Structure 1
Amino acid sequence: MKKLKRVLLVLISLLLIVLIGAFIAVQTLKPDYNGNQTLNGLEKEVSVYFDDFGIPHIYASSEEDAFRALGYVHAQDRLWQMELLRRIAKGKLSEVFGADLLETDKFFLSLGIDDHSINTVAQLDMESESVLLSKAYLDGINQFIEEGPTPVEFYLTGLEKQPFQLNDILDAMGYMAFSFAQAHKTDPMLTDIKNRLGERYIQDLAVNSDTSTVWIKNYKNTVPDSLETDIVATVYKALEKLPVPQFQGSNSWVLAPEKTKSGKVILANDPHISFAQPSVWYEAHVSTPTYEKYGYHIGGVPFPLLAHDRNIAYGLTMFQNDDLNFYRERTNPTDSTQYYVEGAWRDYEVVTKEIKIKDSEPVSFSFRKTGHGPVVNNILKQVQGEEPISMSWIYTQMESKVLDAVYGMSHAKELEEFKSALPNIHAPGLNVMYGDAKGNVAWWASAKLFQMPDSLSTKFVLDGTSGKDEPVRYLDFSENPSAINPPWNYVYSANNQPDSIAGMLYPGYYLPENRALRIVQLLESRKQWDRESTSEMILDATSLVNPALVTELIKLLDISHLTDEQLVEVDNLKNWDGTYKLDGTSPVLFHRCEYFVAKNTFEDELGKEKFQHFLGTHLFKRQIAWGAQMQTGAWWDNVLTDDRVETRSDIVLKSFADAWASLVADFGPDPSQWTWDKVHTLEHPHPIGQVEALRSYFNVGPFAVNGSREVINNLTFTYDSTLNYKVTVGPSTRRIVDFSDIENSISILPTGQSGNPFSKHYRDQAQLYVDGKFRKMMMNESEIKSSSESVLLLSPN
């Protein structure tokens, strides 16, 4: 018995040692929000006050000191995220995650983002204010790397920390530019459909602009073959493995004084980005005698992309313009090192790269480049065939001045100064939304746009040999769509089609009118907007389009063949107002029917894999309402049945039956159990959370969430064979800036401010976000200093 007690005492002692060791380890790995630190390069002491949600409020005597401090505190909360963001463009994800990311690394290396960044840095004025502040920010990051605790992810992956450089800033922004692009998902697919199925199938797709939908209005005012589809398949596989968020779409509107109760401008913005942990934005309030901004930063970038102060506020949505094209090239049959263009043979440029792979030997690969860009045949292993296809992307084709752009936007004090920074944005195309304390509201579509030859569609693979499919000219920024202080007293964007540009409709991958239609309806319906009513609107989860679609298709059902239960649910669906609530059943039945209509319409021609890729495009979203209204069309017939030609009615009847059977199989025969909360869920994935044993520690969620795809509260999902609507994309912040009470403007993040799993701010906003709640964006200095839970004092060395 005594021996057993001694063994138990030893085991208990060992357990206590392990627990104490774990506690000490956790304490040493947590971000340091309190105390004193020395920071190299500071001129004077900087005070960093952290509020109740871990957001730093940085007070410094100079901008360089402030940005140096920003880099330090940003790194201690988000160094792992910064590391992954800079690795994408460099093709260095395999070094962290192994050979599974090899094709992703090859793809991003071939885009040339990192090479473009290096070339851009070589041309920068190292004494410019934007570069000096960027270097100060990087110095802060690098001191944390040298002296701060190593994030746990570095230990788990065996990765060593390395200092950050200027080109890392540009690499992160270059990745953002590409993740917005839609052409790589759409153009090769449309070319394949045209080549394989014929022009009549293209005519029955929502490829071109629909003049019956809601467009963003301009207002000029001076008052202040299978080859192509294999490309799509490989691109999808490369992107789906990315361990960081992809940028998608967004909502924003800015209300002029005539539309608000206070007579002051209100700005609302909720950029739509893939959910991940940590979430994309890092909030920081920076205050110096010459500069103040409450801003939202992406990892490794010093200047905020969304921000406000007491004078101006700005936000972003995705323009969705077409800035990436594919070209067919021709190789010299007697000399494979040459390609043909405009009557002459030119030498391919050959690029060789080496990729380090975790637990394996490095891999070298080479690819060819033409004047258009990389030849994808040599990059994507699934691409077969001899005909070279090159990819031309305007981001790497033109000089980058993006650092000047974001610096200029963040330092502008009034409308014209702010506007002067926007021509420096060449890609990605952004809808820049603006409001100020003087009462101005504005929207600019900011991108380097170009005009193609008449009648040439850039939605298909182009001819790279003749020179006839090249841009005719580049548009001056003054020709871009915009609206400054329009007479309707608001500006908005929901990634929908803008009105004509320089006398033409500019090609793009615009989203359908669904969100825009609802935004315009709500904004036109009232004048006395305030912060509270705007916060309700940003959470609106009502579709105007889906009930209209139900009305169009439900009349095709033969009710004589429906059961009593089915008749009840069809009647409920007929009376559905398009609102998405957690206990709603009509949304579940609607989306099951919508999926099966799409499946029964397109899968027979496209095949399973290509159909799944089609579901992930903006084209499919545009097709839903537009295509369902077509009484006849090539796609309705099931080409796999030889004995008959199916009609729209046949497809709708079959799809309703398929949807009903699937719901019974999943949730049982009682329709009252088919509720939205069972299928519409949100989980914020961390790369380490892919390991099941670590999932609950690193991932945040899952949560049942209301909202849906293409409503204002755009918690969106992609249809797949699981028939569960796992949310992948949504508001990366909900943010409302009210110039009548700027210090009580409100916001929320999807999870938390910190990316460190040992921080109490890792997930402390997650439930608030799901519940549709907000918190204050604090700017009052006395309130911040009196209420902050911790203060970090950074002193000169």
Structure 2
Amino acid sequence: MALIFRWTLRLFLGLVILAGLALWAVYYLAGRSLPDYDGSYQVPGLTAPVEIVRNNSNLPHIFGETDNDAYYGLGFVHAQDRLWQMTMLRRTAQGRLSELFGERTLEIDKLLRRLDIYGLAQRSVAAQDNETKAALEAYASGVNAWLRTVNEEALGRGAPEFFLFSPEIAPWKPADSIAIVKVMGLQLSGHVSEEVIRARTSLMLDEDRIKDILPDSPGLGTAALDYAGLFKDLPQFAANTSPPLDPLSPVKPRELAGASNAFAAAPERSAAGGTLLANDPHLGLSAPAIWYLARVQLQSGGVIGGTIPGMPIFLTGRSDKVGWGLTTAYVDDQDIHIERVNPENPDEYLTPDGYKPFRAQRSIIQVEGSDPVTIDLKWTENGPVLPGEHFNLGTITPPGHVASLSWTVLTPNDTSLQAGFKMMRSQSVDDVLEAMKDYVAPAQNLTIADQDMIAMKTIGHVPRRHPLHQSEGRIPAPGWIPENKWRGIMPYASNPEFRGPDGGIVGNTNNKTVSRPFPDHVSFTYGDTQRVQRWKRLMQNRQVHTRDSFIEAQLDTVSYTARSLLPLIAADLWFTGEAAPEGTRERQRQRALALMAEWNGEMSEHLPEPLIYAAWLRALQNRLIRDDLGPLTSEFTHVEPLFIERVYRDVDGAAVWCDVQQSAPKETCTDVSRAALDDALLWLEERYGQTIESWRWGDAHEATHDHQVLGQIPILSWIVNIRQSTSGGDNTLLRGRTKGSGEHPFHNVHAAGYRGVYDFADPDSSVFVISTGQSGHPLSRHYDNLGVLWRRGEYIPMTLDPQLARAAAVGITTLIPRN
């Protein structure tokens, strides 16, 4: 027995030692790819040494003798910190994810190949001016210099992910940066999904009911504010008065298209007498964040702000003279056309001039662990042909027809990056507006401030449609009808523009900016009808603003939607009936209603009320639509506030939604509200227990910064994923868009990955932050350090003073020209 025990002990100790050695080996190999920020590297392609000064937040300040040397340094630091992320963005654009991930990503690759995103980027290189070409080449050389350094010094393949997947990395090219712009366009576009869902809904409902569930954005539009009539149009809270897509995919459901906030104040509306600008662009959360903070010193002056690794421009930020921020404009820049296939020749389709052959070619997709897949790529005069598996197009494409896509992102001579380089060198608002003539897609609202002026302009191509277009671009239309085809692009001068408004405030929350009749409209639907109401109140609540008041607006968690809808849906439930016995369903409902009656609409992570409200509205919309829409109900994963309001105000007879068609009794809207509240409370009790007062919105509204590949692997997910309890919600300025479906429908999956506030009265008091950290390496202390500040609503300073940057240096990297 003693002998068996000794050998068992020895075996156990041996296994422990082997496991320890294995862990040490993994840590050692992974740690080799942690960059040395105090290193000195001899690299080819520079004209003079480049100095990269990093502060405690790992923000690189890049100093070069020429602009191209500075772009070289930017490419170098992007590759140092985000090499895996950059290569994944490039693979996405190329339609080559399946080479690493197998059949799981095959449909994504098929879509990107059919759109020909990378081919269009390659053709766009020739359209750039010489200065832009040189800058793109310099940036690519900087990326490749780090790849060379990794290989020469055996630096762990550049990122730990490359130990699990293919370590082969092709050199970076200018076309790669242009392709990433187009991939971002795919993330920020939702009109295809909107057309498809409207077409599917129109097969089940009459026109009046479609207006209820898919309402057009109301009103004349908001962009510039006057300091008058402050609150007369804002409803007050009056309690006593009456399946997620694959994380690697660039395609988002219609509810998760682009969203952002940007606003600016003129000197007369600023307490310090200088302009102010704030921007917080919203994208899907990930670890690391899509954003990367940087500063480069150009001949025209320093530029600092938010970049996306792979792109050598600053999408949001400031120079000494100008600041800028982006919000998605929701321009209707996508149209689905239904193309009739020749029944006698499937290689032809009908045009206004008769049948013509598809432009066609074949493409081979390599699939890890499976045989290669060959797909047929086809194009019509209207754009690429998309089979039915993409965007649910098969549900609305008749037999004998195919669907094609017209989209401004599919422009072969895309000079959007060229416009970005010009913007970074601009010295005034007027310079920026002139530079943006070169911008193509995706369409954005650009908010701008120089030291004296503020402005907002919709940038990007806006399609010109025929006045007799059969569907006005709202649902797919026959592609062979001449009136349904695009007629070119609207003039840049006709894009909405608000320059130096009298009220001294401009801004956008993805809301409607102008009201124009078709075909001169911008869009019928926008990304926001709610946040803008709260923004108007905060902007007009004070005569002058400060940096801190702009920060307060960015971090505001009060839901205008909750304050306006709760008095409608609970009007006949509050303070009605006698007290119910403890432990009954009626008693639980009364307890919940008592809490809601005292709530001010603040979506605080520490309160139960936001959780009750969110679950109630979700259950309510489900009860209202499921008997009318049947299986299509699953497509409406987020609450549409305008729909709820129309129903409970009985606009154009919308209260008919409250009656369940399949039941004999005639249900009232109060009946549905009561039943939906019971549904919500039962669902919440199953997850969070019986004690309502102990529930927390933050327990359900976790921000899910997940690694897009390793985040789904057990054990590794504990290391690479970042989860945080957060405030805010779908319709707050501190926007934390919920997932909307699955086991955790209230997870925060889409939020402001970057926040910046720029004060031109005291530029060095400007601040910014991103949602994770600068490094994409899970073992780096910079992997998640800024995420702690982001969650608490804190920022880091933004300075263009070289002396301040060097005084705060914790690491200096020097790039030395190699002969």
TM-score (norm. length: structure 2) = 0.89
State the shift of 1:22 in Å.
4.6
Which residue of 2 is the match for residue 581 of structure 1? 604
Q: Does 1:636 align with 2:657?
A: yes
Which residue of 1 is the match for residue 147 of structure 2? 145
Q: 1:429 aligns with which of 427, 431, 443?
A: 443
Counterpart CA distance in 2 for 1:156 and 1:260 is 53
Q: Does 1:405 align with 2:405?
A: no
Which residue of 2 is the match for residue 720 of structure 1? 741
Letter in 1 for 2:362: T
Counterpart CA distance in 2 for 1:175 and 1:131 is 20
Change in Cα spacing, 1:197 to 1:395, as seen in structure 2 (3 Å) is: same
CA contact under 8 A between 2:627 and 2:662: conserved in structure 1? Answer: no
Deviations 1:60-103 (A, max 9, x none): 11112111121111101011111111111211111121111101
Counterpart CA distance in 1 for 2:277 and 2:523 is 28
Deviations 1:148-203 (A, max 9, x none): 23211111123411111111111100011111111122111111111233334323
Counterpart CA distance in 1 for 2:59 and 2:630 is 49
Unaligned runs of 5+ in 1: 220-235
CA contact under 8 A between 2:275 and 2:760: conserved in structure 1? Answer: yes
Q: 2:702 aligns with which of 670, 673, 681?
A: 681
Q: Does 1:77 align with 2:81?
A: yes
Q: 1:600 aligns with which of 611, 623, 639?
A: 623
Which residue of 2 is the match for residue 733 of structure 1? 754
Which residue of 2 is the match for residue 495 of structure 1? 510
Counterpart CA distance in 1 for 2:274 and 2:793 is 24
Deviations 1:211-252 (A, max 9, x none): 2x7633499xxxxxxxxxxxxxxxx87665528998621001
State the shift of 1:658 in Å.
1.1
Change in Cα spacing, 1:7 to 1:323, as seen in structure 2 (3 Å) is: closer
Pairing of 1:276-315 with structure 2 (within 5 A): 276-315=286-325
Deviations 1:502-525 (A, max 9, x none): 895422430232111111111111
Which residue of 1 is the match for residue 62 of structure 2? 58
Which residue of 2 is the match for residue 457 of structure 1? 472
Counterpart CA distance in 1 for 2:422 and 2:687 is 54
CA contact under 8 A between 1:267 and 1:435: conserved in structure 2? Answer: yes
State the shift of 1:355 in Å.
0.8
Change in Cα spacing, 1:11 to 1:321, as seen in structure 2 (3 Å) is: closer
Which residue of 2 is the match for residue 207 of structure 1? 215
TM-score (norm. length: structure 1) = 0.91
Q: 1:709 aligns with which of 719, 727, 730?
A: 730
Which residue of 1 is the match for residue 455 of structure 2? 442
Instruction: Give the match's secondary structure for 1:315.
Output: strand
Q: Does 1:216 align with 2:213?
A: no
CA contact under 8 A between 1:89 and 1:175: conserved in structure 2? Answer: yes
Change in Cα spacing, 1:425 to 1:207, as seen in structure 2 (3 Å) is: farther
Unaligned runs of 5+ in 2: 227-242, 581-585
State the shift of 1:442 in Å.
0.6
Counterpart CA distance in 1 for 2:409 and 2:139 is 25
Change in Cα spacing, 1:318 to 1:639, as seen in structure 2 (3 Å) is: same
CA contact under 8 A between 1:96 and 1:357: conserved in structure 2? Answer: yes
Q: Does 1:551 align with 2:567?
A: yes
Letter in 1 for 2:794: K
Which residue of 2 is the match for residue 692 of structure 1? 714
Counterpart CA distance in 2 for 1:477 and 1:448 is 7
Pairing of 1:537-548 with structure 2 (within 5 A): 537-548=553-564
CA contact under 8 A between 2:305 and 2:768: conserved in structure 1? Answer: no
Change in Cα spacing, 1:790 to 1:433, as seen in structure 2 (3 Å) is: same
Instruction: Give the match's secondary structure for 2:549.
Output: helix
CA contact under 8 A between 1:117 and 1:167: conserved in structure 2? Answer: yes
Counterpart CA distance in 2 for 1:367 and 1:308 is 42
CA contact under 8 A between 1:512 and 1:621: conserved in structure 2? Answer: no
Letter in 2 for 1:114: Y
Instruction: Give the match's secondary structure for 1:597.
Output: helix
CA contact under 8 A between 1:85 and 1:244: conserved in structure 2? Answer: no
Pairing of 1:248-327 with structure 2 (within 5 A): 248-327=258-337
CA contact under 8 A between 1:194 and 1:201: conserved in structure 2? Answer: no
Change in Cα spacing, 1:9 to 1:169, as seen in structure 2 (3 Å) is: same
Which residue of 2 is the match for residue 524 of structure 1? 540
Mean Cα deviation higher: 685-694 or 654-663: 654-663
Counterpart CA distance in 2 for 1:474 and 1:71 is 34
Q: What RMSD in Å do the two structures reach over aligned CA positions?
A: 2.7
CA contact under 8 A between 1:351 and 1:368: conserved in structure 2? Answer: yes
How many residue pairs are counted as aligned between the two chains?
A: 773
CA contact under 8 A between 2:72 and 2:142: conserved in structure 1? Answer: yes
Letter in 2 for 1:443: M
Mean Cα deviation higher: 340-349 or 620-629: 620-629
Deviations 1:94-152 (A, max 9, x none): 11211111011111211221121122124445xx1111011011011012112223211
Instruction: Give the match's secondary structure for 1:375.
Output: strand
Q: Does 1:188 align with 2:196?
A: yes
Mean Cα deviation higher: 785-794 or 524-533: 524-533
Which residue of 1 is the match for residue 165 of structure 2? 157
Counterpart CA distance in 2 for 1:460 and 1:12 is 63
Counterpart CA distance in 2 for 1:197 and 1:741 is 56
Counterpart CA distance in 2 for 1:237 and 1:7 is 46
Counterpart CA distance in 2 for 1:17 and 1:487 is 69
Deviations 1:472-508 (A, max 9, x none): 5632111111111100101100000111358954224
Counterpart CA distance in 1 for 2:613 and 2:815 is 56
Which residue of 2 is the match for residue 228 of structure 1? none
Q: 1:394 aligns with which of 408, 424, 427?
A: 408
Change in Cα spacing, 1:107 to 1:622, as seen in structure 2 (3 Å) is: farther
Letter in 2 for 1:42: L
State the shift of 1:343 in Å.
4.2
Letter in 2 for 1:448: H
Instruction: Give the match's secondary structure for 2:738.
Output: coil
State the shift of 1:671 in Å.
1.4
State the shift of 1:309 in Å.
1.4
Q: 1:173 aligns with which of 163, 178, 181?
A: 181
Instruction: Give the match's secondary structure for 1:351.
Output: strand
Counterpart CA distance in 2 for 1:587 and 1:494 is 22
Q: Does 1:486 align with 2:497?
A: no
Letter in 2 for 1:521: R
State the shift of 1:471 in Å.
3.5
Letter in 2 for 1:623: F
State the shift of 1:451 in Å.
3.9
Change in Cα spacing, 1:666 to 1:24, as seen in structure 2 (3 Å) is: closer
Counterpart CA distance in 2 for 1:378 and 1:653 is 40
CA contact under 8 A between 2:125 and 2:133: conserved in structure 1? Answer: no
Letter in 1 for 2:562: N
Instruction: Give the match's secondary structure for 2:258.
Output: strand
Mean Cα deviation higher: 372-381 or 750-759: 372-381
Pairing of 1:656-667 with structure 2 (within 5 A): 656-667=677-688
Change in Cα spacing, 1:564 to 1:237, as seen in structure 2 (3 Å) is: closer
Change in Cα spacing, 1:33 to 1:501, as seen in structure 2 (3 Å) is: farther
Instruction: Give the match's secondary structure for 1:725.
Output: coil
CA contact under 8 A between 2:54 and 2:812: conserved in structure 1? Answer: yes
Mean Cα deviation higher: 367-376 or 482-491: 367-376
Change in Cα spacing, 1:725 to 1:489, as seen in structure 2 (3 Å) is: same
Which residue of 2 is the match for residue 348 of structure 1? 358
CA contact under 8 A between 2:302 and 2:800: conserved in structure 1? Answer: no
Deviations 1:358-398 (A, max 9, x none): 12221111133211122223664973743222222122146
Counterpart CA distance in 2 for 1:373 and 1:243 is 19
Change in Cα spacing, 1:510 to 1:279, as seen in structure 2 (3 Å) is: same
